Chain A
Amino acid sequence: MSYLELDNVTKIYPNGTKAVNETSLSISEGELMVFVGPSGCGKSTLLRMIAGLEDITGGEIKLDNRVINKVDPSERDVAMVFQNYALYPHMNVYKNLAYGLKNKGESKEEIEKKVNEVAELLEIKEFLLRKPGQLSGGQRQRVAMGRAIVRNPKAFLFDEPLSNLDAKLRGQVRIEIKKLQKQMGVTSVFVTHDQVEAMTLGDRLAVINEGVIEQVGSPIEVYEKPATYFVAEFIGTPQMNFINGKIHANKFISDEFECSINKDVKDQEVIFGIRPENLKVSANGSIKIKVDLIEKLGADSIIYGYDKSNNYLCYRENGNTKIKVNEEISLEIEDENYHLFDQETKKRLN
């Protein structure tokens, strides 16, 4: 059942910029939806519209069967975790957590009970009397989470909450957020530009580009079957390789190589995409590259090189590779794992 629903939501700023363009999306109860996209794609604007911090130019947002377009942010029953946490610097942690409850008019005992519960859950009990300035980044992050949880909202909104943490902590907190979210079963929207976060956290992803949702799907769906050229390019590191060419008689033909297509596609100009891990070295492989650069990451090695028609291609090999720079290698496509996109509409063809 759809719980949080966006119906043709549009945001146009007074200066005419279209930040979000007729976006529709439905999120079911308890689901963690991740908005992912490059900076300036409108993902934060979308989130802020759900929170009520931006006016909605057109369309409708429904939460739990109630249209919330014109509802005051405090009455929407959503809680937000901000990028810089936005903790109240002059209040101690206890008051930070209690402030929203106090404004709701809850009794002192009730507030104390709830705050203590959350503090215990997040292991911030010993900091309750400290001010945010005396906490470390990770602790502040917890308090920000606590402030959202304590109100027991219908939806959590996360606006890139991990980007201020160092890499190691980010990984830990990511796991904690995922666990907490599942444990509490609260519908959540998580905005990030980091695709690792998106892939690991989300039940589903919405990949957003220039105010438009390009694809919605589970992380693996999005990775394995990108709906558009943009999604293919955006999701996955190292990036997918792209080769321009055309389809003729169900065969992909480029200057470099040919390959028969397993699906009926009409003759047209296409972009052929293949992920680095779907290539393998083979003596009679049809793609030949001259190695330009090798990155050894320990667990695997990433080999970059130019083919004859000067496409910069990337190939991933497990473990520590024996390939050397300037060597010529032949690659072939593994298990028909390739992606075809229309050159004009950029939509997926296979």
Chain B
Amino acid sequence: MSRIFRITVSHSILICGVLLMIVPLWLVFASSTHSNSFIYNEGMQWKIGGEFFDNYDRVLNRKGGFTKEITASGIFYNSFIMAFGIASLSVFVSMMAAYSLVYFKTRFSTLFFWLIFVTLLVPLELRILPSYQIVSDLNLLNSYAGLILPLSASAIATFFFRQYYRSIPEELLEAAKLDGANSWKFFIDFLVPLSKTMIAAMFIFMFVYGYNQYLWPLIMTTSEKYWTVVMGLKMIYGGNSVDRYTYVILSLIPPVIIIVFLQRLFIQGLFQSK
């Protein structure tokens, strides 16, 4: 009896959570399949309408912005490149940084670690002017490299990798040394496969972080060709039209793809230390 009660309670909580996530999404999706005037008059809809193909085709392929140089599909592509670049680079950089901090026992490695960690207190928004200056001096304005590089060193990911590496027993390194593994081999043959789940988790975090960037791309892109998702939402689809709903639904796809691919590893990474 009490078991059934417990299951009922926990499942109701879970179902509530799912509904909380799904219902707004469904509302937006259903609304995105109606005609513009219908939505304008009737408000958001629960039922699916008949304009799905027309709406999605229009949003994906219509040139928007002031100079009509960019389509929504171009925007998604830009953001995907940016987020993917930030995620891959920051995972790579953090792993290397953590590796050197943990395994090369330099005298000030703890100090270096805290210096890296302190950069958390100086987010991009705070150093946006000097960052712009640097990127501009390097002639990287209006380029993918300019979008990616300033965001590709992550203190938090370095912290996670460092903590994880420290939990790996010292004997493993020693055994590997006796088996003839040099520093590079130990990294490739041991740390990378052992931290697979951690890599997946960090990749997803950094991907979403990169995908959600607004201020940095807004400041450093003057060409509409390099507009990103959140900018597009503001600049092109800010009005009260059905296209906005369509755009929101479409913008969900790239992160969802990443999560679908890495989901299994991601969950393991969050809940297991090994």
Interfacial residues, chain A to chain B (CB-CB below 8 A): 51-53, 73-74, 78-80, 82-84, 86-90, 99-100, 103-104, 147, 151
Please tell me if the beta carbons of A84 and B179 are within 8 angstroms of each other in the complex.
no
Please tell me if the beta carbons of B185 and A88 are within 8 angstroms of each other in the complex.
no
Q: How far is the CA of A84 from the CA of B171 in the complex (A)?
A: 8
Please tell me if the beta carbons of A74 and B177 are within 8 angstroms of each other in the complex.
yes
Q: List 18 A-B contacts (CB under 8 A).
A: A51-B174, A53-B174, A74-B179, A74-B180, A80-B178, A82-B175, A83-B171, A86-B171, A86-B175, A88-B172, A88-B190, A89-B194, A90-B190, A99-B176, A99-B189, A103-B179, A103-B181, A104-B180
Please tell me if the beta carbons of B178 and A103 are within 8 angstroms of each other in the complex.
no
Chain B residue numbers with a CB within 8 Å of A80 are 174-175, 178
Nearest B residue to A80 via CB reads: B178
Please tell me if the beta carbons of A51 and B179 are within 8 angstroms of each other in the complex.
no
**Interface SS of chain B:** helix
Q: Is B50 an interface residue (CB 8 A)?
A: no
Q: How far is the CA of A103 from the CA of B177 in the complex (A)?
A: 10
Please tell me if the beta carbons of A89 and B178 are within 8 angstroms of each other in the complex.
no
- The listed residue (A74, A83, A90) touching B178 by CB distance below 8 A is A74
Chain B residues 122 to 176 lying within 8 A of chain A, measured CB to CB, are 169, 171-172, 174-176
Q: How far is the CA of A99 from the CA of B172 in the complex (A)?
A: 13
Chain B residue numbers with a CB within 8 Å of A151 are 179
Please tell me if the beta carbons of A90 and B180 are within 8 angstroms of each other in the complex.
no
Nearest B residue to A151 via CB reads: B179
Q: Is B274 an interface residue (CB 8 A)?
A: yes
Please tell me if the beta carbons of A82 and B180 are within 8 angstroms of each other in the complex.
no
- The listed residue (B169, B177, B190, B194) touching A53 by CB distance below 8 A is B177
Q: How far is the CA of A99 from the CA of B177 in the complex (A)?
A: 11
- Give 8 new A-B contacts, CB below 8 A, not counting A73-B177, A90-B190: A52-B177, A53-B174, A78-B178, A88-B172, A99-B181, A103-B181, A147-B179, A151-B179
Chain B residue numbers with a CB within 8 Å of A84 are 169, 171
Instruction: Decide yes or no: A103 and B175 within 8 Å by CB, A88-B190, A89-B194 being known contacts.
Output: no
Please tell me if the beta carbons of A90 and B193 are within 8 angstroms of each other in the complex.
yes
How would residues 4 to 28 of chain B score, 1 for a CB under 8 Å from any chain A CB and 0 otherwise? 0000000000000000000000000
Chain B nearest CB from A146 CB (Å) reads 13
Chain B residue numbers with a CB within 8 Å of A53 are 174, 177-178
Please tell me if the beta carbons of B178 and A79 are within 8 angstroms of each other in the complex.
yes
Please tell me if the beta carbons of B274 and A89 are within 8 angstroms of each other in the complex.
yes
Nearest A residue to B168 via CB reads: A89
Q: How far is the CA of A82 from the CA of B175 in the complex (A)?
A: 8
- The listed residue (A51, A87, A103, A147) touching B180 by CB distance below 8 A is A103
Chain A residue numbers with a CB within 8 Å of B177 are 52-53, 73-74
Chain A nearest CB from B66 CB (Å) reads 53
Q: How far is the CA of A79 from the CA of B193 in the complex (A)?
A: 24
